[in-house]
Amino acid sequence: MFKFEKHIPVLEKRLVVSFDLEWTKNYRIKNGNLPFCFSFVYFPFNAWRSESDKQLEFGVYLRYVDHKNEIPDLLREADKILGRFFCSHNQTTVVGHQLSSDISIVLNSASEKSAVNFLELKKIWKTRKDKLKSSVEVFDSRYDMNALLKEKSRRLVDVCQECGLDVTQPEIKSSMTKMQNDYYLSGDKKIMERLSILNIRHSLSAAILFLIYKKMIKEKRVINVNHILSRGLSEGFNYLREEDFLKLL
């Protein structure tokens, strides 16, 4: 299993944690959607300021399986990391785009004992609009941003565009399922790096959408999310130094 982590100091009491899961799709069989990659992106609640694409510092936990038999380990890792976030700060907001789907895939694929924190997250997601005092809150950028949005589409890329975020993603050359199945067969690290960056971009974008929503002000200029990724992760992924990515900056 490929593991990547980037840690940042968080001195504030309130933390934003965004989770995104990728999976191969097979709707012909029960529980045929199999996770292969996840990322947690985190930063302090007050991290978003003017020109944050030039200043925003974020931490990352990424896990990516090399073989299908590593999927149970992937899910145990996800649950363990989520549990750390639950316990580490006075106030944690867990963010995701259609987070309910990611939670469902985890719970459908993991044993109950290895997903206790995701079971708790599911409960919090269901009651997220109740005014209950808790150390953990949930925000779903697909369902919870209606007060800020005018367009009908709630796809992540469309919500980002309406809120002034450029999230251009050239990584998808075919379906994600086909790309990952090709990776299982070939072990081509270029595929793994591209899908890893795609996944981290999803997490980072949802987290930024949450901060924009809290201020209830759309960005007046375009924020290039790929620039934030390049500045924060270029030492960890060769793909971020390739021509296909550099032309996005």
Q: Mean pLDDT of all residues in the chain?
A: 91
Considering the chain, what percentage of its residues have pLDDT values greater than 90? 72
Distance CA 141, CA 210 (A): 7
DSSP calls for 183-225: HHHH--HHHHHHHHHHHHHHHHHHHHHHHHHHHT---SS-EEH
Distance CA 76, CA 118 (A): 10
For residues 67 and 12, the model is more confident at: 67
Degrees to nearest 5, angle at CA 77 with 9 and 42? 30
DSSP calls for 42-62: EEEGGG--TTGGGT---EEEE
Show Cβ contacts of residue 84 under 8 Å, excluding neighbours closer than 6 positions: none
Flag whether pLDDT at 220 surpasses 70: yes
Tell me the average pLDDT across 199-209: 97
Flag whether pLDDT at 226 surpasses 70: yes
pLDDT category of residue 9 using cuts at 50, 70 and 90: confident
Answer yes or no: are the C-beta atoms of 85 and 15 closer than 8 Å.
yes
The topology under which CATH files domain 2-246 is Nucleotidyltransferase; domain 5 (3.30.420)
Degrees to nearest 5, angle at CA 68 with 78 and 226? 55
Tell me the average pLDDT across 164-182: 92
Tell me the average pLDDT across 80-95: 91
Distance CA 137, CA 140 (A): 10
Flag whether pLDDT at 215 surpasses 90: no
Is-above-0.75 flag for pTM? yes
Tell me the average pLDDT across 151-168: 95
Answer yes or no: are the C-beta atoms of 165 and 208 closer than 8 Å.
yes
Report the relative pairing of strands 223-224 and 165-166 from DSSP bridges: parallel
The domain spans of the chain are 2-246
Flag whether pLDDT at 50 surpasses 70: no
Q: Which of 42, 111, 114, 116 is nearest to 77 (CA)?
A: 114
pLDDT category of residue 52 using cuts at 50, 70 and 90: low
